[in-house]
Chains A and B, each alone.
Chain A
Amino acid sequence: MKLAVFLSDLRRTEDTYERLKAEKLGVILVENGIYHAVIKEGGKDSPVLSKAGATFYALTDDLETRGYTAANVNPKVKLVSYGDIVDLITNEYEKTAWL
């Protein structure tokens, strides 16, 4: 399964996220999900970014809306536009899950 998971919250649906598996997994951080790309709670990366084998993306618009820039973003995370998300879900992944 090629799955694009959307995370739009800082907390709430971690138990589902942690258990999800996919042969190809993309994690698209949008809305308050972008905090996983920028905060270091207790000095550590968000546990969301430790998902093995996943590729991480964060929506630039939602990052900037919340006062962050590319300079704040964890190097594990690629910044994307709305157009990039369209390309990801139509070309790279075959299913989506908005947790």
Chain B
Amino acid sequence: MAELTLGVFPSLVGSMSLDFSFKLAEAAIAKGHKVNMWLSGNAVMMAKKGQKAFKDYSHLEKRMKELMSKGMEITVCEACAEARGYHKEDVPEGMKRASMDWYLAKTVKTDRLLHIGGE
């Protein structure tokens, strides 16, 4: 089984790329792969717990918790989060915060990296 690292930068609301990355992660975990996810830039919107689910907006907190319970490691960029007013106490349970070097370090051992940068 492989280790897959996803680096995701587009926002939760206003883009569907984050939805894509969670669905891909789900499919990878279902096949027995190890998945790591780095959320940076506007994707740190995931670092705010208690978001209300509306049908007009993407809502991924529940899916994220399910994936973390299955072993997916999710870390958000601390500086990107703080710059947007998402503080340590806002982070959903199980999610980690770190500086960008966490992501760079993950690239060393991961078998595949899918970096979803553009927005």
Which A residues are closer than 8 A to B by beta carbons? 6, 8-9, 12-13, 30-31, 61-62, 81-83, 85-87, 89-90, 94-96, 98-99
Contact = CB atoms under 8 A, between A and B. Distances in A.
Given A31-B16, A90-B4, A90-B111, A98 B24 contact: no
Interface of B: 2, 4, 16-17, 20, 23-24, 26-28, 30-31, 33, 111-118
A83 B115 CA distance: 18
A68 B33 CA distance: 31
Nearest to B27: A82
B27 A86 contact: yes
Given A83-B30, A83-B31, A85-B24, A96 B112 contact: yes
Contacts, number: 52
Contacts of A86: 4, 24, 27-28, 31, 33
A98 B119 CA distance: 11
Contact of B26 (A82, A89, A96): A82
Contacts of B115: 96, 98
17 contacts: A6-B114, A9-B118, A31-B17, A31-B20, A82-B23, A82-B24, A82-B27, A85-B24, A85-B27, A86-B28, A89-B112, A90-B111, A94-B112, A96-B112, A96-B114, A98-B117, A99-B118
